[in-house]
């Protein structure tokens, strides 16, 4: 294109009006520069009308009568005046490796293990999974119908190499742990490397804490009130932060 050539641009499209463009102009002119190049800029207005998606078309003409089209393009402009749909509750599963699982703003169910399988890796053996719910009313799965997760099967150590690290467990948001019914568990408040946790253990069958009890979860921030060691089972109705399956 020869330098100093005058060109005309025009906007059109489904639902496009002058109110959709800053400055209110749907056409204008511009000039080819010394390098044979030319460009024009438009800015869309953030209107509050609920109109649905609109198609914006732009055409460039070589003459003021707008008969010779040099170029054209179109884009779809989404309607941002419509509020986004709220997050829907979902069940999030992990893999046989150490996973980081993050939920939505909905009351999700989160597990660091796969949804199926009963071998050691499928049940969390040898992995440390990080679970973050984000929303209120989340349920963190430490067991399901297959049994309890993160048990390495070694009664001579506490299983510090496989457990769920739960980052945002909050009683005030009605978060819960899912555990296995007819199973004994222990919990205690502890500080590890300067970070406060509530630790959940699979008990070896009594209410006394020993090296045979298996660590299955750390709840960062020590959200459970009280001190010392406590025992609970499916008959402990006062523990509203636990659900049994």
Residues 230 and 174 in one domain: yes
Pick the last residue of a domain from 77, 108, 125. Answer: 77
Residue with the larger pLDDT of the pair 172 and 54 = 172
* Widest CA span in the chain: 92
Residue 220 lies in a domain: yes
Tokens of 18: 């002058």
Residues 189 and 107 in one domain: yes
Kindly indicate the confidence band of residue 38, based on its pLDDT and cuts at 50, 70 and 90.
confident
Residues 167 and 199 in one domain: yes
Residues 52 and 150 in one domain: no
Pick the last residue of a domain from 77, 104, 132. Answer: 77
Pick the last residue of a domain from 24, 54, 77. Answer: 77
* Res 67 pLDDT > 90: no
pLDDT in tens, 19-32: 878 888 898 888 98
Task: Please answer whether residues 112 and 166 qualify as being in contact, where contact means their C-beta atoms are separated by less than 8 angstroms.
Answer: no
Residues 113 and 175 in one domain: yes
Q: Which domain holds residue 98?
A: 91-244
Rg (CA), the chain: 30
Residues 131 and 189 in one domain: yes
Sign for the pseudo-dihedral over CA of 154, 160, 166, 171: positive
Tokens of 94: 């992990």
Residues 10 and 128 in one domain: no
pLDDT of residue 229: 63
Kindly indicate the confidence band of residue 2, based on its pLDDT and cuts at 50, 70 and 90.
confident
Closest residue by Cα to residue 210 from 160, 165, 157: 157
Tokens of 45: 């207005």
Closest residue by Cα to residue 232 from 193, 171, 181: 181
Residues 116 and 168 in one domain: yes
Residue 67 lies in a domain: yes
Residue 19 lies in a domain: yes
Residue 82 lies in a domain: no
Residues 157 and 71 in one domain: no
Q: Is 103 exposed, middle or buried (0-12, 13-18, 19+ CB in 10 A)?
A: buried
Residue 83 lies in a domain: no
To the nearest whole percent, how much of the chain has pLDDT over 90?
39
Residue 55 lies in a domain: yes
Residue 86 lies in a domain: no
Mean model confidence pLDDT for the chain: 86
What whole-number distance in Å separates Cα of residue 58 and Cα of residue 75?
9
Residues 118 and 32 in one domain: no
**Predicted TM-score of the model (pTM):** 0.66
Residue 24 lies in a domain: yes
Strands (E), the chain: 6-12, 27-31, 54-61, 69-77, 91-92, 100-102, 109-110, 128-132, 139-141, 143-144, 147-148, 163-166, 176-179, 185-192, 195-202, 214-220, 230-232, 242-244
Residues 157 and 72 in one domain: no
Domains identified in the chain, total number: 2
Q: Which of 7-11, 122-126, 140-144, 207-211 has the lowest mean pLDDT?
A: 207-211
pLDDT in tens, 173-212: 999 999 999 888 888 888 989 999 999 999 887 777 887 8
Residue with the larger pLDDT of the pair 186 and 216 = 216
Residues 43 and 124 in one domain: no
């Amino acid at each position: 294109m020869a330098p100093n050539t005058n060109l005309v641009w025009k906007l059109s499209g489904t639902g496009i009006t002058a109110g959709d463009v800053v400055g209110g102009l749907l056409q204008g002119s511009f000039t080819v520069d010394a390098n044979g190049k030319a460009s024009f800029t438009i800015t869309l207005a953030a209107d509050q009308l609920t109109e649905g998606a609109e198609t914006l078309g732009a055409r460039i003409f070589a003459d003021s009568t707008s008969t010779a089209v040099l170029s054209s393009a179109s884009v779809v402009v989404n309607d941002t005046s419509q509020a986004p749909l709220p997050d829907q509750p979902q069940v999030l599963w992990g893999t046989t490796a150490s996973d980081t699982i993050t939920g939505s703003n909905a009351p999700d169910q989160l597990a660091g293990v796969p949804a199926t399988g009963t071998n050691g890796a499928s049940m969390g053996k040898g992995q440390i999974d990080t679970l973050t719910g984000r929303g209120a009313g989340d349920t963190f799965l430490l067991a399901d119908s297959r049994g309890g997760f993160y048990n390495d099967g070694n009664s001579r150590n506490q299983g510090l190499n496989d457990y769920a690290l739960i980052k945002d467990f909050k009683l005030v948001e009605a978060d819960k742990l899912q555990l296995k019914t007819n199973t004994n568990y222990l919990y205690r408040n502890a500080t590890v490397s300067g970070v406060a946790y509530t630790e959940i253990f699979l008990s070896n069958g009594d209410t006394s804490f020993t090296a045979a009890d298996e660590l299955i979860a750390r709840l960062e921030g020590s959200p459970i009130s009280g001190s010392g060691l406590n025992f609970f089972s499916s008959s402990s109705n006062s523990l509203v932060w636990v659900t049994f399956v």
